[in-house]
Structure 1
Amino acid sequence: MKRVSIHMWLTLIFVSSILGIILVACGSNQPIQIGFIGSITGRLADMGMSARNAVQLAVEQCNEQGGIRGRRVTLIIKDDRQDAETALQAIQELIAANVVAVVGPLVSNMATVVVPHLNEAQLLTVAPTVTTPHLSGQDDYFFRVCIASQEHAFRSARYQIESGDMRRVAVVYDGGNRTFSENWLANFKKPFVAGGGKILTFIEYKEKDGRSFSDIARELLAAEPDGILIIANPMDSGLLCQQIRQADASIKITLSNWGASQRLLEMGGNAVEGVTLPIAFDWDSPSPPYLTFRKKYLERYQREPGFAGVYAYDAAQVVLTALKASELQKPLKAVLLSIGEFDGLQGKIRFDAYGDVAPAHASIRIVRNRKFVVVE
């Protein structure tokens, strides 16, 4: 009896060892999962779809090149619908799915909602287009590949003062992304007022408040400004420009960098001709990686990637590069910080110890013949 028990025990050890080897081998071939979160429906869908498409392209290219040490990468896509509860649920689902990192979110309001939960889970996120300074200078799991919003706002204010185009300004901003909008306005107002400008009035609107853009346009013009500043998403910016131009065809209009996308041109039509805006992104960049990416993106999706697509591709490549340099044992955040510098489509991406990138020069552009043309 004792001999049988020993035999059975040895057999169990042998079988367990074989099963363990099989499970390890199978586990090592399991796909590596990355999450994506952004608004891919509603008024921000143009940015969300551009970003999602670019991340999908980056993942496909990675898999075509052999994946991560032979393991395929899969992308789990979540739509936050620009809604806090939806975003939180999406993040919890990504955490439960054991993704190794997240690309997104895309707007500041959603970032301030989900980043605390990502920090609690110690899950790295690389945001393509989140510009709020409220997440700057923090030792957390939030990284971004774009510059913070104050650089754009300062540049816009200085341009308006130096050019003399706008001295008396009425402002309308999207309260649905208040974290971005109010900060952008504050950073614009300080140098603008110091330079002799005056903010006559400001109007906050939200998608659900029921106010028509024609009513907002009339209220803005009632203050008798010589210019109007719109801080809103591309779709709303274009529609607001239409209503403002219908009431006053000659009034000068400037936008925040948030409005700078193909969607603005599509929704605004002739009403956005002559509109100015500040942005660090360069549609005309001669960078070979950018030109190659843009060509592939156009062939695949038949539309321009815009700044959201380019920055999302950069964010995805940051994650994929860190994964390739990691053995999935060292925390991905530590790997990313140890690398420090990454190749972006339009130049180097250099992270500081807090996951922020160095400030970059924002140019002033004007819409001419449905193109964003550099003014200075």
Structure 2
Amino acid sequence: MNKTMILLLTVAGVLLSGCTNKEPIKIGFIGGLTDRNSDNGQAGLNGVTLAVEQFNRQGGLNGQMVELLAKDDAQSPEKAQQSSHELVAAKAEAVIGPFTSGMAKVIVPVTGQAGVFQISPTITSMDFYGKDDNLFRINRTTRDYAEDYAKTLLSQGLQRTAVAYDTRNLNFTTSWLKEFRTAEQAAGHTLAAEIPYASSDETDFAEVVRLMLASKPDSLVFISGALDVARLAQQARKQAPKLPIAAAEWAATEQLIELGGEVVEGLLIMQNYDRDDQSQRYRDFAEAFYKRFQRQPGYSTVAAYDAATVVLSSLKNRQRGETLKQAALRSGPFQGLQQTIVFDANGDTRRKAFMTTIQNGRYVRLKD
């Protein structure tokens, strides 16, 4: 072998080595993975994990792989702040999450000050709407959801609703309650009761429901996570078995039916995706998800996968000198699993949602 050939092979080896040993691009994830409502966070993490694995199998970003850094916020302000600082210190290019508005109130200032692009799959509080910051949102707002709930309940002749709300996610629950109250008042009705409680293992859910029923309501609404809704529904069925019940979209997970069983039959609840979608795109995703995690995807899974799609597409489309936020604004619309994602200048988007009820152990979409 002559010297020229040896030199060419050496150079090729160095170039190949450089291509295969690039530092990975770090993407952060933050959500509740160990708290009482960890079903949302864990389902979301699974969705992001699948998206990143598929992206890497397809070659990543010109051969550069993505490394996912998952952090728990534990629905604790202290833990959320610690985890968000860790993601900033790790130089994450973007952060996907959090999954509750209460944690967003703590996390977004940290990532925002560091200039990190953040996209939440599920937060809805009006506190994060219409702001020119580094936060993008995949979900609707509490105003959109609450107005739809009020419209549905009123269409069923229910005019005296008692509400219970979890103060552990206060930013979301009070925003939702405010918008629901406003929608009811606009129709000429007032809420029968507004009962706050702090979710814990020691919460007396029988007493919460007793306080709701003391106002003589014609329906009950729970602004709570899936675990609490299952327990509240159990008490509602004991104390007022015929009274209609509903729960805010926060609880619309697989765990709600698993935990609630018969007591959540007939419960009214909204979904931000179509569980019965038969499109090839969604069926391929659902099949891949089940193969990877041995379970069906839920609403936070779908929204988190969509959020990851936005981040990964923006990384691919980013031009020299551009921030990831600028790339995301320029790169849309994005094709989500079921819906086209179009962001406005503030990173807000509209999303279709579907009112459902639980029948025979599954979510069934109500007719429009």
Same fold (TM over 0.5): yes
SS in structure 1 opposite 2:36? helix
Code of the aligned partner of 1:47: N
CA contact (8 A) 1:170 1:200 kept: yes
Counterpart in the other structure of 1:218: 210
Report the counterpart of residue 325 of structure 1 in structure 2: 317
CA distance in 1, matches of 2:141, 2:281: 24
Given that 2:272 and 2:299 are in contact with CA atoms closer than 8 Å, whether structure 1 keeps it comes out as no
Q: 1:119 aligns with which of 112, 132, 151?
A: 112
Contact conserved, 2:206 with 2:235, CA < 8 A, in 1?
Answer: yes
May I ask how many residue pairs the two structures share in their alignment?
354
> Is the contact between residue 151 and residue 362 of structure 1 (CA under 8 Å) also seen in structure 2?
no
Q: Kindly, what percent of the aligned residue pairs are identical?
A: 38
Give SS of 2:222's match. strand
**Which of 1 and 2 has greater Rg?**
1
Extract unaligned runs of 5+ from structure 2: 1-13
1:196-345 matches, within 5 Å, as: 196-208=188-200, 210-326=202-318, 329-345=321-337
1:348 is matched by which residue type in structure 2? T
Larger mean Cα displacement after TM superposition, 321-330 or 229-238: 321-330
Cα deviations across residues 292-346 of structure 1 (Å, max 9, x unaligned)? 1111111221222111000000101111111111256421111111112101001
Alignment match, 1:374: 365
Pick the aligned partner of 2:140 from 132, 142, 147: 147
Task: Quote the Cα distance in structure 1 between the aligned partners of 2:321 and 2:57.
Answer: 24
Matched residue type, 1:113: V
| Offset, 1:79 | 0.4
Task: Provide the secondary structure at the position in 2 that maps to 1:43.
Answer: coil
Note if contact 1:161-1:196 (Cα within 8 Å) is conserved in structure 2.
Answer: no
> Deviations 1:65-116 (Å, cap 9, x if unpaired)?
0111101111011000001111111011111111111111111011121111
**Structure 1 SS opposite 2:193:** strand
Gap change, CA 1:71 and 1:257, over 3 Å in 2:
same
| Deviation (angstroms), 1:197 | 3.0
Q: CA deviation at 1:362?
A: 3.1
Q: Which amino acid in the other structure matches residue 226 of structure 2?
A: P
Contact 1:108/1:131 (CA < 8 Å) preserved in 2?
yes
TM-score (norm 1): 0.90
SS in 2 for 1:372: strand
Give me the whole-angstrom Cα distance separating, in 2, the residues matched to 1:82 and 1:350. Answer: 29
1:123-152 per-residue CA deviation (whole Å, 9 max, x = no partner) reads 001111011121111111000111112111
Change (3 A) 1:73 1:371: same
C-alpha separation in 1, matches of 2:75 and 2:354: 28
Give me the whole-angstrom Cα distance separating, in 1, the residues matched to 2:96 and 2:285: 18
> 1:32 aligns to what?
25
